[in-house]
Amino acid sequence: MPLCRLHRGIFNEQPERRWNKQLSKNFELKQEKVALMTEKVKNAKAMLVVSYKGITVEEITALRAKCRENGVEYVVYKNNLMLRALDNLGVHDLDHLLVGPCAYVFSDSDAVAPAKVLSEHIAQAKNDKIIIKAGLVEGTYMDAQAVDALAKLPSRDVLVSKIMGSLNAPITNFVGVLSATLRSLVYAVDAVRKQKAGE
């Protein structure tokens, strides 16, 4: 067999097969990643979309550390994969925002935590490179202004303690009134007893 035919046979057929296998493997990996992202968005109490154009590695590292301290996760995904994950859930409110460098901030336990952590970090670092675009909180779309308002709310623990305090106040007042009434009754009975004892 001439060398040119052998050459053509080896290098024309095999790379095609290798290329197809590689494409199918990449496609499978992307499908798996989209499935994981879909579950992550579905199970999250809150997910915020953040623009981070022009931010340094040190700044991102500091932000990720602050997120971890507060039980929040800062992740960067490819926008087209996130679009597919959101499409799997029937969510299309964020489609127009997934342009340019985007990061995603997740919390599985506290719906307010991502907004608070990001707002505090932006204020402390005086960094205008990190921009909160929008988010999904408890499955509801929130624009940047709504997320900012959410960040200004007290934490869940503070809200619960305020509610418990307001529920406890009427009971405390009622107990005080009952005690005063009983005290008055005891004084009246004691006064009547003394008066009868004096006669």
Domain match, 113 and 42 both: yes
Nearest to 79 by CA among 108, 50, 57: 50
Domain that holds residue 75: 38-153
Token pair of 110 as six digits: 């506290």
Domain match, 171 and 127 both: no
Domain match, 50 and 143 both: yes
Domain match, 95 and 82 both: yes
Q: Rounded CA gap, 96 and 83, in Å?
A: 10
Q: Rounded CA gap, 145 and 134, in Å?
A: 8
Asked if the structure places residue 14 within a domain, the reply is no
Amino acid at 63: L
Asked if the structure places residue 195 within a domain, the reply is yes
pLDDT at 79: 92
Domain match, 47 and 121 both: yes
Asked if the structure places residue 1 within a domain, the reply is no
Specify the number of domains making up the chain. 2
Asked if the structure places residue 4 within a domain, the reply is no
Domain match, 144 and 168 both: no
pTM for the model stands at 0.67
pLDDT at 1: 47
Domain match, 61 and 91 both: yes
48 close to 105: Cβ distance less than 8 angstroms: yes
Q: Rounded CA gap, 127 and 181, in Å?
A: 61
Q: Rounded CA gap, 99 and 84, in Å?
A: 14
Q: What is the pLDDT along the chain (199 residues), one digit of tens a residue?
A: 455 555 554 455 455 555 566 667 788 888 999 999 999 999 999 999 999 888 888 888 988 999 999 999 999 999 999 999 999 999 888 889 999 999 999 999 888 889 989 888 888 877 778 889 999 998 889 998 988 888 887 766 777 777 777 776 666 666 666 666 666 656 666 676 777 777 6
Asked if the structure places residue 77 within a domain, the reply is yes
Burial degree of 75 (CB within 10 A; 0-12, 13-18, 19+): middle
pLDDT at 77: 93
User: Using H for helix, E for strand and C for coil, what is the string for 122-163?
Assistant: HHHHCCCCCEEEEEEECCEEEEHHHHHHHHHCCCHHHHHHHH
Domain match, 132 and 178 both: no
Domain match, 90 and 140 both: yes
Q: Which spans in the chain are helix H?
A: 3-43, 57-69, 79-88, 113-125, 144-152, 156-198
Asked if the structure places residue 120 within a domain, the reply is yes
Buried b (16+ CB within 10 A) or exposed e, 114-153: bbbbbbebbeeeebeebebbbbbbeeeebeeeebeebbee
Domain match, 129 and 179 both: no
Domain match, 59 and 98 both: yes
Domain match, 148 and 162 both: no
pLDDT at 4: 52
Which residues make Cβ contacts (< 8 Å) with residue 95, sequence separation at least 6? 83, 86
